[in-house]
Amino acid sequence: MPVEVPQDRDVHVTSIRVRFYELDPYDHVNHTNYFSYFETARIEFLTEMGWGLDKLKREGFQLVVVEIAARFLAAARYGQELTIHTWVEDAGRVKSTWRQIMVRGEDEEVARITVTAAFTDLEGRPRRIPPAFIAQMQGAREG
């Protein structure tokens, strides 16, 4: 069954190969490592958009995770290449909702998450999402 990713916005694709030290005693990727994989993909997407962590910090912002909902569907194992599809589902005044789907091979879904992230200043106080970020997200939806 093909993985369902939106066609009306930019979807970033990241590939990660499972390393041996990420396995649990059952030779599966330990569930905590999936969160690192997803985080890597989100950071790569931000960087590709021109909103890397260095730029955010220079402009006085942080993008912090405030909630994650995860669903694990299949076990990943040593040496497998995992592909992560990442997109911004929605952006409001302070928070944005990110969706990510991890697959193995062409279409075997391994895991999926929904992340709510908030823009804050460098001290952690909530701040409005920068207008340029919103404009870029809206442009990505139209393109």
Q: Where do the DSSP E strands lie in the chain? A: 12-17, 61-72, 81-91, 95-104, 108-121
pLDDT of res. 45 = 94
What global pTM score does this model have?
Answer: 0.90
Which domains does the chain possess? 12-142 (3.10.129.10)
Q: What are 82-95's pLDDT values in tens digits?
A: 999 999 998 889 99
- Ordered DSSP codes for 57-81: HHTTEEEEEEEEEEEE-S---TT-E
Of 109, 99, 118, 104, which is closest to residue 45 (Cα–Cα)? Answer: 99
108: its two tokens: 């075997």
Q: Count other Cβ atoms within 10 Å, centred on residue 67.
A: 11
- In angstroms, the CA 109 to CA 121 distance is 36
Instruction: Tell me the per-residue pLDDT of 90-142, one tens digit each, with 9 for 90 and over.
Output: 888 999 999 999 999 988 999 999 999 999 999 999 999 988 888 777 655 55
Q: Averaged over 47-74, what is the pLDDT?
A: 95
Burial class (CB in 10 A: 0-12, 13-18, 19+), 101: buried
Confidence class for position 9, pLDDT limits 50, 70, 90: confident
